[in-house]
Amino acid sequence: MKKYFLLASKDGCIIVKKEKKILNTHFGRIDLSKIKIGRKVKSHLGKEFIVLKPSLRDFLEKIAKRGAQVILPKDMALILAYTTPKPDSLILDSGTGSAFAAIYLANFIPKGKVVSYEIDERFFKLAKENLKEIGLKNVVLKRKDATKGFDEKNADLIILDLKDVIKVIPHAFESLKSGGYLIIYCPTVDELLSVCKELEKYSFFERKIVENIVREWQFRKTLRPKTMGLMHTGFIVIARKLS
pLDDT in tens, 172-190: 999 999 999 999 999 999 9
Residue 1 has pLDDT above 80, yes or no: no
Q: How confident is the model at residue 90 (pLDDT cuts 50, 70, 90)?
A: very high
Cα distances (angstroms) measured from residue 165 to each of 54, 73, 115, 157: 34, 21, 17, 16
Closest residue by Cα to residue 176 from 243, 111, 237: 243
pLDDT of residue 95: 94
Where do the structural domains in the chain lie, given as residue ranges? 4-54, 59-241
Please, which contacts does 72-76 make with residues 24 or more away whose CB atoms are closer than 8 Å? 72/230, 72/233, 73/104, 74/212, 74/214, 74/230, 74/233, 75/185, 75/212, 75/233, 75/234, 75/236, 76/100, 76/101, 76/104, 76/105
pLDDT in tens, 25-77: 989 999 998 889 999 999 999 999 999 999 999 999 999 999 878 999 899 99
Is residue 170 within 8 Å of residue 192, measured between CB atoms? Answer: no
- Fold (topology level) of 4-54: Vcp-like ATPase; Chain A, domain 2 (3.10.330)
Element (H or E) spanning 209, and its range? strand 204-210
**Phi, psi at 72, each rounded to 5°:** -75, 160
pLDDT of residue 2: 78
pLDDT of residue 67: 86
Is residue 136 within 8 Å of residue 106, measured between CB atoms? Answer: yes
Residue 239 has pLDDT above 90, yes or no: yes
* CATH, domain 59-241, list 3.30.230.10, 3.40.50.2300, 1.20.120.1200, 3.40.50.150: 3.40.50.150
pLDDT of residue 116: 98
pLDDT of residue 208: 97
First-to-last C-alpha distance (Å) of the chain = 40
Sign, Cα dihedral of 235, 60, 55, 129 = positive
Non-local (6+) Cβ contacts of 190 within 8 A are none
